[in-house]
Structure 1
């Protein structure tokens, strides 16, 4: 029953979103007084305010030192503000991290500050190199949360997903003092984890992905590890069985059933290989 209810709510949410994604500008919409008051209270110095609706949300485009867009629900609850900022306005820790990254030489296309209800502030640096475009998501302390291909989708994808109380309690108990940075529900029906909720957190300075299944139960947690952080047994297996390959990256994966293993990505010429190796150095499916 729990799964059926969860799936039904997800389906209704998707259906409502698809039906209400027509946009209207402020020439054709009436903004409730309560909503205007909520906006004015949050942004008292806002100028050039223009209202529109997107996917059932009221969106105020305005200027407050920088160009920004604030998203509110129909009942006036603030959800998100996306601010277009110059690179120099980034926290120093973010700039330092980016300038030491593999993308430092790429062209900077855009920089956004994302503030959202229920999650920490993140900074998105859009970079491009020839035909490649990547969005880099950083926490304020310079931790790279994720890097994804820029699809030029509208910013509805940045709207926060609300965690259940059980999910939030699990994270607080298993990962004390963790910062919740990003929440996504997998929406590709062709993927094995369709309907799963992925929560990006920073725990003890490490960016981790916490995955909950369709019923809201914890499925697994994964995070990137350096080659020198791998257990000796894992490194020995790589050296003995895959010595002709070049190490690319690795993730540690902890599952709810107690299984712990490392997903290793290797390269050889134009061949990419992914292998799973447990802590004892045994290759597993």
Structure 2
């Protein structure tokens, strides 16, 4: 019984430390962030081991940006509403086989390598959900389904 308790305690500490900040955010990273998002407020940093992630607001929009340890910008995600999507993306969604599903979330993702993409989370029911990724021209690029 004592061994089981000790194992559980060690596991708990491991999980706790996994979400802790491991490294100090390098100045080159914070400087790159400030240069790209000069009007950002409420900035909170997280160390994701492979990148540093800033959660922040620009105006009323919640955003998240990732940078390498050398200050190189990787991507930015921003919450969107369905109504604020470009017409081409809404049209692409309406023409897709998923148009009858309920939209549960929308996000714009700007990536260094891929440019601007739009993620639309949809669900058929509580157990069947999909994450759809559209190009800015409305083309469905990927469709990742999850069953909970």
TM-score range, shorter chain: 0.7 to 0.9
User: Contact 2:73/2:112 (CA < 8 Å) preserved in 1?
Assistant: yes
Structure-1 residue corresponding to 2:91: 96
CA displacement at 1:24 relative to structure 2: 2.9
1:112 pairs with one of 103, 107, 122: 107
CA displacement at 1:74 relative to structure 2: 1.1
User: Contact 1:61/1:69 (CA < 8 Å) preserved in 2?
Assistant: yes
CA displacement at 1:89 relative to structure 2: 1.6
Distance 1:113 1:135 in 2: 13
Q: Deviations over 1:72-95 (max 9, x none)?
A: 111111111111111112111001
1:77 aligns with 2:77: no
- Highest RCO, 1 vs 2 (Cα 8 Å, sep ≥ 6): 2
1:123 aligns with 2:138: no
Distance 1:146 1:75 in 2: 30
Which runs of 5 or more structure 2 residues have no equivalent in the other structure? 1-17
CA displacement at 1:50 relative to structure 2: 0.4
- Given the two structures, how large is their TM-score scaled by the length of structure 2? 0.79
Distance 2:146 2:86 in 1: 22
Which runs of 5 or more structure 1 residues have no equivalent in the other structure? 1-21, 153-285
Distance 2:102 2:147 in 1: 17
Structure 1 stretches of 4+ moved >4 Å: none
2:130 pairs with one of 103, 123, 134: 134
CA displacement at 1:29 relative to structure 2: 4.8
Structure-1 residue corresponding to 2:35: 41
1:61 aligns with 2:55: yes
**Number of corresponding residues:** 130
- Given the two structures, how large is their TM-score scaled by the length of structure 1? 0.43
Distance 1:151 1:51 in 2: 31
Q: For structure 1, which segment, 82-91 or 37-46, has the greater mean C-alpha deviation from structure 2 after superposition?
A: 82-91
Please tell me the root mean square deviation across aligned C-alpha atoms, in Å.
2.0
Distance 2:23 2:38 in 1: 22
User: Contact 2:128/2:147 (CA < 8 Å) preserved in 1?
Assistant: no
Matches within 5 A, 1:1-285: 22-25=18-21, 29-65=23-59, 66-130=61-125, 131-150=127-146
